[in-house]
Structure 1
Amino acid sequence: MNKAVLQSIIDDLKAGKTPLLSTDDFPCFSAEALAGNSHVAPDYLDVIAKSLTEADIPTFERAIRAVDEGDLAWLGFKVIYDAAEAQRNTDNEVTKKYGDQGSADGEPLVFFCNDAKEIVSSRTPSPRDTFQMKDVTRGPSMHNEQFEGLTWRSVALFDQVHVWLLGASDVASELSALAIHVGFKVTVVDYDPAYISEERFPDAARIELPGDNFDGLDEYHAVPADYVCVLTRGHMFDPESCVWAVRHNVHYVGMMGCKGKNTTVHDLVTSRGVTEEQWESIKRPIGLKFGAKTPAELAIAIVAELIDVRYKERYSDEARERHEQSLGR
């Protein structure tokens, strides 16, 4: 989230102006994000903008502080499509009881919520609202469509994890689509235009290296927060890719390959200055183990592992402990 956007909203509200909210800044209201949802349209952002007052300034100020602090936090939106229905109590014998009240009111609302379940909003939510507002921490939410008359949207105040796919293999093509779908930012790298085409990677950033090898990879730089998946075709450039990832000290690096290939890559990688400790930090083979064989199945296994790594990295020790217990591990 761009702090300047949040500050401009604050400035407009202080000046008594209606801020301009764009789907570029709040992509949860884009046509792509709302595809198939007849209850919400991108122009609902105009409804939200007109509903904002000076009382909403603390919400946006808290969001700016979260950006500055790198907090795991979201800016959330209550979307009303039937005010009377939204306020009706629709709990039943299956749902947890939240009292006799449904939503606190039939008006849109912008709110702040973080992983610590801190909520900041201009109006007091009902208990049921609070339940759904906290649910944005599941990124963005799991129960946003549970009750009639309203729904919930949110935008993260923290950066996406950047995943590098080194090699434009069939697995990488399947992986790219899945990783983007679950919120990763993806860059794919290869030298062959036939493989690194827009058709195979329509939503990823693409880097086409010069020549017919991975020598040009050294011209590009990862940061320690990035993840790297080594997926070169035929494992031909796995050594160069592993060395590159280790030298950039990325948070996660995984490599495909059988035991025999790993031994060969090990010898080539360590001959280029990678230590045994660094080699052992490379996840081999990449992905969770559940019998995946085809490119699509392998992509699912890898994305599942990336999600697990991201979850462990982002959430507090207390939150992870609770979740790990619920997973039975």
Structure 2
Amino acid sequence: MFQIYDIASELIDKRESFVLATILHKNGSAPRRRGSKMIIKNDFSIIGTIGGGLFEALTVKLSKEVFGNKRTIIKNLDLSTEGGGSLEIVCGGELKVLMEYVDAENNNIAEIYKQSSNLRKQGINYSIVTKIESKDEILHNNCKWICTETDFYGEESDIVQPVFQKIRENFKEVTMQVFMANNEKYLVEPVLNCETIYLFGAGHVSQKLAEIMKMLDFKVVVLDDRREFANKERFKTADKIIILSAFDDILKHIEINDQSYVVIITRGHAYDKDILAQALETDAKYIGMIGSKTKRSFIYSQLKDEGYTQKELDRVFCPIGLEISAQTPEEIAISIAAELIKIRRCSK
């Protein structure tokens, strides 16, 4: 979803209007989950996906109406009644899809997407609020706001303030949902920018993993004590590169929280042990360390001697990555990325 918002902002900068399709609800075997998004450009080419095949074909067809009327619509797509049977599609499935016309000439909507991009770059969490049903008006693109923990962006409206208040009651736990306010419906979509992967070690595996994780919408931070390895030429997609003098005081340089993924792939056992010990003192969502079972036993034994418990060590994924018999840096990076995706998805 994050990447779609970035692309949307780029299209608006180029004054190119488009239709944004968002899955509000799914039933059956529809392949994409709620919140998945797809951009349909005015030449009917698409960016992103809401499920492929017939679902996307039907959505592109609906976009012609949206481009024509320049307003928001909500449609139910049911493969059992929309031609799926005649195409012998056995998976079935239903989607409720929000179709928004995003007018690049609308200054209010342009500002919303600009602020969205700015907040993303700053790593600030926020929710996008969109009015999706109204009792007395045709919906246009002024009906969109951004709500942060302390501020909001968009047109002033007392009517939508109760929605902001509801979001802020439990800001970091908000999920995609529809709120009611004054008999009108508002779609709330949280954009939590604090999912960060900390790559300790700037070797070949780290270089490949940084590229993959950026495509998966993680903020990527690379840490190493070797400037010749940890640099922008080798890590073009990294959000931040930190050159350490040593690995014994990493928490002076970064803040690891429950949305942090710690990947330890340095060049030596001693470095890995020092980083792992510090990571175990944090609320990191994921801690993974590269290495064999023999290396794991050696480091764990040292940490136990220092007072760490088996329960604490059980948090660590080592050997790191899903078992796919990976050998090359690219294959190892893919196995690690797959494990991180599993942790990200299964913990929600």
Under a length normalisation based on structure 1, what TM-score does the superposition of the two structures give? 0.57
Task: Work out the CA distance in 1 between the residues paired with 2:55 and 2:226.
Answer: 55
Could you say what secondary structure the match of 1:102 adopts? helix
Residue type of the alignment partner of 2:73: R
- Corresponding residue to 1:206 among 241, 263, 266: 241
1:271 and 2:230 aligned: no
- How many pairs were matched up? 224
Partners of 1:242 and 1:269 within 8 A in 2: no
Q: Which residue of 2 aligns with 1:29?
A: 8
**Residues in 1 aligned to 2:7 and 2:321: alpha-carbon distance in whole angstroms:** 29
Q: How does 1:291-310 map to 2 (within 5 A)?
A: 291-310=325-344
Q: 2:73 aligns with which of 110, 114, 123?
A: 123
Q: Is the 8 A contact 1:188 1:206 kept in 2?
A: yes
1:1-329 → structure 2 map (5 Å cutoff): 26-29=5-8, 41-43=11-13, 47=17, 74=35, 76=37, 79-82=40-43, 95=54, 102-103=61-62, 105-108=64-67, 122-125=72-75, 127=77, 131=95, 133=97, 157-160=190-193, 161-204=195-238, 205-210=240-245, 213-219=246-252, 220-314=254-348
Which whole-Å CA distance do the structure 2 matches of 1:158 and 1:27 have between them?
Answer: 12
The AA in structure 2 aligned to 1:272 is E
Q: 1:217 to 1:293 in 2, by over 3 A?
A: same
Residues 171 and 81 (structure 1), Cα distance of their counterparts in 2 relative to 1, 3 Å cut: same
Deviates more, 1:124-133 or 1:156-165: 124-133
Contact conserved, 2:289 with 2:318, CA < 8 A, in 1? Answer: yes
Contact 1:80 1:106 in 2 (8 A): no
Name the CA distance, whole Å, in 1 between partners of 2:319 and 2:37: 38
Amino acid at match of 1:266: Y
Q: 1:272 to 1:201 in 2, by over 3 A?
A: farther
Contact 2:264 2:275 in 1 (8 A): yes
Contact 1:73 1:157 in 2 (8 A): no
Distance in 2 (CA, whole Å) between partners of 1:47 and 1:79 is: 9
Q: 1:98 to 1:262 in 2, by over 3 A?
A: closer
Number of the residue aligned with 1:67: none
Please identify runs of 4+ aligned residues in structure 1 that moved more than 6 A: 96-99
- 1:287 CA displacement: 0.2
Please, what is the CA RMSD of the aligned residues? 4.1
SS at match of 2:320: coil
Shift in Å, 1:126: 5.9
Deviation per CA, 1:100-141, whole angstroms, max 9, x where unpaired? x931643349xxxxxxxxxxx832436379848379xxxxxx
Residue 327 of structure 1 aligns with which residue? none
What per-residue deviation string (whole Å, max 9, x for no partner) do you get for residues 139-190 of structure 1? xxxxxxxxxxxxxxxxx73224211111112111111111111221111111
Structure 1 residue 272 displacement after superposition: 3.3
The alpha-carbon distance between structure 1 residues 104 and 186, as it changes in their structure 2 partners (threshold 3 A), is closer
Amino acid at match of 1:26: Y
* CA displacement at 1:30 relative to structure 2: 5.6
Per-residue deviation at 1:270? 2.3
Amino acid in the other structure paired with 1:123: I
CA distance in structure 1 between the partners assigned to 2:258 and 2:329 by the alignment:
28
| Identical-pair percentage | 25
Q: Counterparts of 2:301 and 2:264 in 1: how far apart (Å)?
A: 16
Structure 1 residue 267, shift from structure 2 partner: 2.2
Structure number with higher helix proportion: 1
> What is the identity, as a one-letter code, of the residue corresponding to 1:290?
I
Aligned residue for 1:125, secondary structure, equals strand
Q: CA deviation at 1:230?
A: 0.9
Q: Which SS does the other structure have where 1:238 is aligned?
A: helix
Aligned residues of 1:174 and 1:296 also touching (Cα < 8 A): yes
Q: Which has the higher strand share?
A: 2
Note the alpha carbon deviations across 1:70-101, whole angstroms, 9 max, x for none: xx975956534258x99xxxxxxx847999x9
The answer to whether the Cα contact below 8 Å between 1:190 and 1:196 also exists between their aligned partners in 2 is yes
Say if 1:280 and 1:124 are closer, same or farther in 2 by CA, change over 3 A.
closer
